[in-house]
Structure 1
Amino acid sequence: MEDIQMIQEMLTNHTMQTDRDAAVMLPLVREADQSLSLLFEVRSLSMRSQPGEICFPGGRIDPDDKTPEAAASRELCEELGLSLTDIHMLSPLEPIMSPRRGTIFPFVCYIAEPNKICPNQAEVSSTFRIPLTYLLENPPEEHQTSFHFTFSEDFPLHLIANRSAYTDRKQTYTEHVFHYDGRVIWGLTARIMVTFLSILKAK
């Protein structure tokens, strides 16, 4: 393996693995008074992963999905009973890295006829909306969450320079929590919302 050109070709033709990567959609809908709201899902209690929690439409990127955008659109249609013609794509947001879930690709879309929404009860128990003005005027709570790193007994920590810096290492993150009408939104969903709302506030 000493051929630089061969290595370059391997790197150029390399395709990122997407077995854990996911794509989500932030759907905007217009209310009767012409104001805009952000639509959320409540996950079905029968779901193995995060039952009953609040999220945006989305899921893992399948091998058949040509792009993360295609995956987000497909998942939204499957979960909300819509077709691709019901979705008006607005823009991608900055991808988010998650240690457990790979890369999350968020997109913002507009659903012109929300009355067509018919949630797939196997995945979505219900949907609800939060006015965009409320989210812009009511910032989330900020809480600190810490993660502790530990090494297995056979890890060669004694061979690492400055190993004392990694012993009982702790990393702290800021966790955002939104409250609305008795509902709590946190985790990756809240993190994506913070990015989206910060762009709107900056403009």
Structure 2
Amino acid sequence: MEPPIDRTTLEAALHMSGAPSSDFDLNPDFSGAVTGDLRAAGVLIPIMDHPKGPRLVLTKRSSALKHHPGQIAFPGGRVDPTDLDPIDAALRESEEEIGLPRQIVDVIGTLPTHETVTRFQIYPVLGWIKDDFVPIAEPGEVSEIFTVPMNHVLNVDNFNVQSRLWRGQKRSFFTVPYGPYYIWGATARILRGLADRVQL
């Protein structure tokens, strides 16, 4: 069994150089992407302490949503004109979606951006939750809030590559399942990028 990951290890990983990632990493010839300019979005990778090791907070999106219903995601969303930057957007959205007060989040760094086939440029922000936190799901948008051991999502052996048809074309993507939760797509790709830096 691997020793639990700690904040120091994560901070060191963020200082490593790395290139931006993309949904096209596994699909260089994919031509079914949405066209148009990239839209900026900030997502928070919220990490909370736990006696058995830090855990990652994730959401399951409501099945009633128009975009990405039922998918596992980081709290976050597009950068609004009133946001100072993607970090500000990630903290705002996290407070709205899971009731996480920004004042108890230590931003410990950012990862390289990730481009999605739906034309978002995602800015992943690592945040350490430094106080007790009781999640509150935003009605209509978040159906469930759950946690995953960081050791699980930072172990590259837990990742797989799978494929499905999207807009009539085969598209491959990373997955990192955990129990009943099917973590895939951009969420899994961003986590894989972090796992590659940590190398448990």
TM-score range, shorter chain: 0.7 to 0.9
**What is the letter of the counterpart of residue 52 of structure 1?**
G
**Residues 1:20 and 2:39 are matched in the alignment:** yes
Shift of 1:45: 2.2
- Structure 2 residue aligned with 1:198: 196
Bigger CA radius of gyration = 1
**What residue ranges of structure 2 are gaps of 5+ in the alignment?**
1-35
TM-score norm. by structure 2 comes to 0.72
Percentage of matched positions with identical amino acids: 28
Alignment of 1:163-202 (within 5 A): 174-201=172-199
Of residues 45-54 and 56-65 in structure 1, the stretch that sits farther from structure 2 once superposed is 45-54
- On the 8 A contact 1:41/1:126 being kept in 2, the answer is yes
Please identify runs of 4+ aligned residues in structure 1 that moved more than 4 A. Answer: 144-149
Greater RCO (Cα-Cα under 8 Å, separation 6 or more): 2
What's 1:82 paired with?
100
1:65 paired to 2:83: yes
Amino acid at match of 1:115: F
Change in 2 beyond 3 A, CA 1:94/1:173: farther
Cα distance in 1, alignment partners of residues 198 and 38 from structure 2: 32
Q: In structure 2, how many angstroms separate the alpha carbons of the residues matched to 1:146 and 1:88?
A: 39
1:93 is the counterpart of 2:91 = no
Which whole-Å CA distance do the structure 1 matches of 2:179 and 2:39 have between them? Answer: 33
RMSD: 2.6
Please say if 1:51 is aligned against 2:51.
no
TM-score normalised to the size of structure 1? 0.71
